[in-house]
């Protein structure tokens, strides 16, 4: 028996997600928007019976047992933690900070019987599922280098909002880079222990964002990660990621893993491979084709991955008669809240590196920082 769904958000992801959920047999009972007008407009368009701008109205809705959260990162933690506390299963986007991510991890650990997963759809894309399996089987031999390139148009909204603000979770590194950091961990089975990065904001104003307002979120990012190994630069996997969102009208999404005996390359939704000594690449998995409507704001890999993720959710909940119960198997490879904390820690380390120009260590917090730490230090200094 599938759970009833409540969706938070009225952006492009929500517009795609709701029809996908309905196609798999889920009933979407409630929609939350930042304003009544936004929520009402999209609810009518998508045929959702209840809409609101009050978060508790969705969380306390008697027919909602699964909450999908696709809202600005600065708001994610509050809704996700409250939803778990009420007893709802949660699928959500990334939080704004590592501290917010840690609070989400704490809530998820407190309610282990509930589903709590991050909505990184790339893990469900068939090309990356196949790539991971081939890596495990040794297609490339010992993994040495990962190289990722994502180029595309601006990520900014039409008006000034959270996408323009680095502190609110905007920018290429946080929005797209975080999904790639998680993907590389999924593919390699390792985590980054040191990072080095460079962030730039080339477009600080445009025709719609001008005057006293300036964009602070990055539109170009390049970073390196040393993954796995024992901490020395000569061991583990070397990863490089380049993100450039100053290329209107084009989209490039390429992930390459090079090893001692060959390489695998995912271009868009297709997977290619070449073993050392062979004459050329072979197509290992073709484009299965996207049958839904084209969504300009969502690249095809994320679109197809979202569709596969919703299918996995159906399989997970379908295995049980009780609406809130779920089976781990179909979503076993999904991004956990713990993975989300790791990713956010790497993002913040890359930002520190961009400021310092130095390699930075990735140290995942094990307890929540004291919010009064600086005040306590100042009082201690005064006392001395």
Q: Name the phi and psi angles at 250, rounded to 5.
A: -140, 160
For the chain, give the mean pLDDT. 91
Distances (CA, A) of 54 to 29, 41, 50, 138, 330: 15, 16, 12, 51, 32
Q: What is the CA radius of gyration of the chain?
A: 21
- For the segment 131-185, what is each residue's pLDDT rounded down to a tens digit? 999 999 999 999 999 999 999 998 877 777 777 788 878 889 999 999 999 999 9
- Helix, strand, coil proportions of the chain in percent (round to 5)? 40, 20, 40
**What confidence category does residue 378 fall into, taking pLDDT thresholds of 50, 70 and 90?**
low
Percent of the chain's residues with pLDDT above 70? 92
pLDDT at 380: 62
pLDDT at 215: 82
Q: Where do the structural domains in the chain lie, given as residue ranges?
A: 4-121+300-336, 123-285
d(CA 353, CA 44): 46
What CA dihedral angle connects 53, 58, 59 and 63, to 10 degrees? 180
**What confidence category does residue 55 fall into, taking pLDDT thresholds of 50, 70 and 90?**
very high
Query: 198 forms bridges with which residues in the sheet?
Result: 222
Residues across the chain? 384
- Domain 123-285 sits in CATH 3.30.360.10: yes
**Which of 110, 106, 65, 102 is closest to 83 using CA atoms?**
65
* Residue 300 and residue 317 in contact, taking contact as beta carbons nearer than 8 Å: no
pTM of the model as a whole: 0.92
> Token digits for 208?
């719609």
Q: What is the mean predicted confidence (pLDDT) over 210-234?
A: 79
- For the segment 9-21, what is each residue's pLDDT rounded down to a tens digit? 999 899 999 999 9
Higher pLDDT, residue 117 or 202: 117
pLDDT for 275 beyond 80: yes
Of 1.20.1600.10, 3.40.50.10540, 3.40.50.720, 3.40.920.10, the CATH number of 4-121+300-336 is: 3.40.50.720
pLDDT at 321: 77
């Amino acid at each position: 028996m599938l759970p009833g769904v409540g969706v938070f958000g009225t952006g492009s992801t929500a517009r795609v997600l709701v029809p996908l959920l309905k196609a798999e047999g889920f009933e979407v009972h409630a929609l939350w928007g930042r304003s009544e007008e936004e929520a009402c407009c999209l609810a009518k368009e998508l045929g959702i019976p209840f809409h609101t701008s009050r978060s508790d109205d969705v969380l306390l809705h008697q027919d909602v047992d699964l909450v999908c959260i696709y809202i600005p990162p600065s708001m994610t933690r509050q809704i996700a933690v409250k939803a778990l506390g009420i007893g709802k299963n949660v699928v959500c986007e990334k939080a704004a900070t590592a501290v917010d991510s840690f609070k989400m991890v704490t809530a998820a650990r407190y309610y282990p019987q509930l589903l709590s997963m991050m909505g990184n759809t790339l893990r469900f894309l068939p090309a990356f599922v196949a790539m991971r399996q081939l890596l495990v089987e040794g297609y490339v031999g010992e993994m040495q280098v990962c190289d990722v390139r994502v180029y595309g148009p601006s990520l900014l909204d039409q008006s000034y909002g959270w996408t323009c603000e680095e502190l609110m979770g905007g920018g290429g590194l946080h929005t797209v880079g975080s999904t790639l950091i998680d993907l590389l961990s999924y593919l390699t089975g390792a985590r980054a222990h040191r990072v080095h990065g460079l962030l730039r904001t080339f477009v600080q104003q445009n025709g719609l964002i001008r005057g006293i307002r300036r964009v602070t979120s990055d539109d170009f990012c390049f970073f390196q990660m040393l993954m796995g190994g024992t901490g020395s630069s000569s061991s583990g996997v070397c990863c490089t990621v380049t993100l450039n969102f100053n290329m209107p009208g084009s989209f490039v999404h390429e992930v390459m893993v090079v090893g001692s005996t060959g390489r695998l390359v995912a271009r868009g939704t297709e997977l290619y491979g070449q073993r050392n000594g062979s004459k050329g690449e072979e197509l290992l998995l073709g484009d299965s084709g996207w049958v839904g409507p084209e969504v300009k704001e969502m690249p095809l890999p994320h679109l197809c991955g979202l569709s596969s993720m919703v299918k996995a959710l159906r399989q997970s909940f379908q295995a049980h008669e009780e609406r809130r119960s779920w089976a781990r198997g179909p979503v076993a490879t999904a991004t956990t809240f713990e993975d989300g904390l790791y990713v956010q820690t790497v993002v913040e380390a890359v930002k520190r590196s961009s400021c310092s120009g130095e390699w930075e260590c990735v140290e995942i917090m094990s307890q929540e920082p004291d919010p009064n730490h600086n005040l306590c230090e100042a009082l201690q200094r005064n006392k001395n």
